[in-house]
Amino acid sequence: MAKILMPKATAVWLIDNTTLTFKQIADFCELHHLEVKGIADGDVAQSMRGVDPVARGELARDEIKKGEADPDYQLKAIEHKIDTKIPQPKRKGARYTPISRRGDRPNAIAWFLFHHKEVSDAQISKIIGTTKATINAVRDRSHWDSANIKPVDPVTLGLCSQIELDELIAKASEKRRKMDAEAGITEDGPGLAPITPEVSEEDQELEERKRSDGLTAETLFNLGGPKD
């Protein structure tokens, strides 16, 4: 990739406005030094208007001064850092899905219903651009193509990015944990009542005898003990 956008026009400007050598200009503009010489002689790029690389932010004026002071100095272009991260615009409402991929949405819905029941219908509608009616049709198998619907994750189908899917699942899981905590449901399941141990018939009979003997003894004591 060239350092500058308009190399010949830049060379014209440098020839007309600086005392740089043809080689310095050729190296900076990525041209052959004979081509630069042809530009200076008027044989190449005739009537071409020069472009100022300083004004365009491609070359610093200090670099020109260094080059003019030292014929062997190689000019360095200004490097611009390119932000490769493309910001994702915030969308309002359901996502737009290309017509060629709309037939894949029931498979993505089935994937959510099978693998991530914590994701709400509204969240599914927004991330893959579908409707609640379609979700319900897939859920109760009343969809016209139910026989061919198979759970496939929306990233594989190209309906959303992996980052969007991970954020949605994490958000839905956190909401479910909070709801379960408020309802008293733990990771092991709902709170269960303590299990009462089973008592055999012999143990029950023995317990009744103990209660009867204790009652008899208490009655005799209250009556002043046994009489002679």
3-state secondary structure of 111: helix
Structure tokens at 214: 């204790």
What count of Cα atoms within 13 Å lies in the side-chain half-sphere of residue 111? Answer: 17
Structure tokens at 66: 């260094």
Judging by beta carbons within 10 Å of its beta carbon (0-12, 13-18, 19+), is residue 165 exposed, middle or buried?
Answer: buried
Q: What is the pLDDT of residue 195?
A: 47
pLDDT in 10s for each residue of the chain, 228 residues: 456 788 899 999 999 999 999 999 999 999 998 999 988 888 887 778 888 999 888 899 999 999 999 999 999 988 766 555 555 555 555 555 555 566 788 999 999 999 888 889 999 989 988 889 999 999 999 988 888 999 998 888 888 888 998 898 888 888 777 777 776 655 555 444 444 455 566 666 666 666 666 545 555 455 555 554
- pTM of structure: 0.40
Q: What is the pLDDT of residue 66?
A: 93
E-only strand ranges, the chain: 185-186, 189-190
Residue 101 makes CB contacts below 8 A (sequence gap 6+) with 157, 158, 159
C-alpha 162/C-alpha 168 separation (Å) is: 10
Q: Give, in order, the Cα–Cα distances in Å from 32 to each of 24, 37, 46, 59.
A: 11, 9, 17, 19
The DSSP line for 12-65 is HHHHHH----HHHHHHHHT--HHHHHHHHHTSSSTTPPP--TTTTTSS-HHHHH
Q: What is the pLDDT of residue 109?
A: 92
Other beta carbons less than 10 A from residue 153's beta carbon = 16
Main-chain dihedrals φ then ψ at residue 37, nearest 5 degrees: -65, -40
**Residues 93 and 99 sit within 8 Å (Cβ to Cβ):** no
